[in-house]
Amino acid sequence: MKVAAAQFAPTADAAANLAVIEEMTREAAAAGAQLVVFPEESMVPSDADEHGDVPLRELAEKHWPAFLEGITRIAATYGTAVIAAGYEDSGEALPYNTIAAVDASGEVLGLYRKMHLYDAFNYRESQKVQRGDTGPVVVRIGDFNVGLVNCYDVRFPEFTRSLVEMGADLLSVSAAWVKGPLKEDHWTTLLRTRAIENTCWVIASSLTTPDCIGMSMAVDPLGVVRAALGEEERSMLVVDADKDRIDRARTILPVLRNRRIIIGPR
């Protein structure tokens, strides 16, 4: 299955961001991609509320329904599954940071509300977002079981292992990976590690806003980086994620069979 990772720099204009998602999905479909993965905060960036008088909760209430309807329409129009993230109204003081997975017919396959909030490196996401408690989430796209991962989640090996326990053979990572000392190295190391330890594909997309690194990439089940982007503000990669590579990896490196401690989803 051909899979694309698309990186861009969303603004506080949710409609404009959706237009970029549509244009990049059209490009991905033209390249033969059956799935395109977009970053965390594709709807609006987390600091959108700082550029106006509207709290993030109200932005979520206002824009999430149109965002979700938009990506379902885009997926159906171009016959390509779409994974993208935004802020979903929770009905409480803080919104959810939610990844939506939509199939090529426009059906919503699943919603994953971020479980691990980024309270690290002198930042507190929990002051802006309500933690989700209904994950992990795995959806079926084409021949793959796709596990949904949101940024900081990738630092928790038990989380991605739980997705693999649920059958995931491809991890879709939507991120707003913030720049900083060693952060680029952490990103690459963690993505490769999650692929190697789970012998699965990892397709990762990150924002390219001024505070984020971009560097979207595709890693195969033996940890080989098959494609990678740099800091380009708007760019896309397309790889052929084949099941044979998973079968070969799990034959020569049977770590999942050789385990002695099993950690499943809670």
Q: How far is CA 71 from CA 20, 60, 171, 254, in A?
A: 11, 15, 20, 38
- Total Cβ atoms within 10 A of residue 175: 26
Structure tokens at 242: 């084949």
Alpha-carbon distance of 64 to 43, in angstroms, equals 8
Q: Tell the burial category of 159 from Cβ atoms under 10 Å away from its Cβ (0-12, 13-18, 19+).
A: buried
Catalytic member of 40, 41, 88, 165: 40
What is the C-alpha separation between 57 and 79, in angstroms, rounded?
32
Q: Which of 88, 125, 151, 200 is catalytic?
A: 151
Q: Which residues pair with 108 in a beta bridge?
A: 102
Residue type, 142: G
CB-based burial, 13-43: b 16+ in 10 Å, e otherwise: ebeebbebbbebbebbbeeebbbbbbbbbbb
- Candidates 2, 41, 88, 114; catalytic one: 114
Residue 114 a catalytic site member: yes
Alpha helix ranges (H) inside the chain: 14-30, 56-78, 157-165, 183-198, 243-252, 255-258
Catalytic: 40? yes
Catalytic residues: 40, 114, 151
